[in-house]
């Protein structure tokens, strides 16, 4: 636990100093609605954050709670997005403190776009480990629906690797894209975020036309990392 407290303290100082301008403890405490003495105790590692304060800080900085506690963000560029644009990722761990692969079943898929940042929602998802996937990356599994990405069949399970740096996604990357309106879709992505603020999503099935989604509509991106199907896909 002491290691997590130390990581939290270092990360809190680091994130405050990364804010635009010279942000004091008092200014940050005012924005968070907490006492300066409480914030100072957190930064010095003299106090463990309450659960409510931990959620408040993670939400404010848009960073995963697990990353806040376990990682040294000064040396982990994967946890920081381009232009200091940090994002929340709610995740679960197994008894050995390894990040789980949560599975979003069909019955929960419709609510994922609303529940992806809800600790209770994520905790209710089935979770498991896959030994041949990297423990240094975050994965989640989703059921595939539709016929837009052959040879995948409806009912396949698609594994996605979490992407926190959206601007760095290469054109042609196949991703699970989570948006408010469409929920979770699997598409080939063409990246125009930097100059136009949009991703263009393209199906492999030519019957479906490409279409754009604006940055503000996107909630999560997961890079296609593999799939499971009970039958061998046809050509």
Which tokens hold the place of 134? 């990297």
Phi, psi of 215 (to 5 degrees): -50, -45
User: Rounded mean pLDDT of 81-110?
Assistant: 76
Q: Is the overall model pTM greater than 0.85, yes or no?
A: no
Confidence of residue 85 (pLDDT cuts 50, 70, 90): very low
d(CA 161, CA 101): 10
What pLDDT is stored for residue 16 in this prediction? 85
Instruction: Give the DSSP H/E element, type plus range, for residue 219.
Output: strand 218-228
All structural domains of the chain: 2-84 (1.10.260.40), 101-228 (2.10.109.10)
Mean pLDDT of 203-214: 96
| Strands of 127-128's sheet in order across | 127-128, 101-103, 139-143, 157-163, 218-228, 173-179, 183-192, 198-202, 211-214
**What percentage of residues in the chain have a pLDDT greater than 90?**
49
* Dist. CA 135–CA 200, nearest whole Å: 30
What pLDDT does residue 135 have? 80
pLDDT single digits (tens) 157-195: 999 999 988 988 999 999 999 998 899 999 999 999 988
Q: What whole-number distance in Å separates Cα of residue 13 and Cα of residue 1?
A: 19
């Amino acid at each position: 636990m002491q290691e997590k407290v130390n990581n939290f303290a270092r990360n809190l100082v680091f994130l405050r100093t990364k804010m635009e301008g010279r942000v004091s403890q008092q200014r940050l405490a005012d924005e968070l609605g907490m006492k300066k003495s409480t914030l100072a105790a957190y930064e010095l590692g003299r106090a463990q954050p309450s659960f409510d304060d931990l959620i408040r800080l993670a939400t404010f900085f848009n960073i995963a709670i697990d990353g806040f506690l376990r990682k040294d963000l000064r040396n982990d560029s994967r946890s920081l997005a381009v232009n200091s644009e940090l994002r929340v990722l709610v995740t679960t761990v197994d008894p050995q403190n390894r990040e789980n692969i949560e599975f979003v079943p069909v019955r929960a898929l419709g609510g994922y776009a609303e529940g992806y940042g809800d600790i209770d929602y994520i905790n209710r998802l089935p979770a498991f480990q896959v030994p041949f996937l990297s423990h240094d990356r975050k994965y989640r599994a989703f059921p595939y629906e539709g016929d837009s990405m052959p040879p995948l069949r409806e009912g396949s399970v698609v594994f996605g690797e979490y992407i926190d740096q959206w601007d760095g996604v290469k054109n042609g990357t196949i991703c699970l894209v989570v948006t408010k309106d469409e929920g979770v879709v699997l598409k080939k992505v063409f990246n125009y975020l930097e100059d136009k603020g949009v991703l263009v999503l393209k199906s492999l099935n030519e019957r479906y036309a490409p279409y754009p989604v604006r940055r503000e509509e996107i909630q999560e991106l997961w890079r296609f990392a593999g799939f499971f199907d009970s039958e061998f896909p046809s050509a």
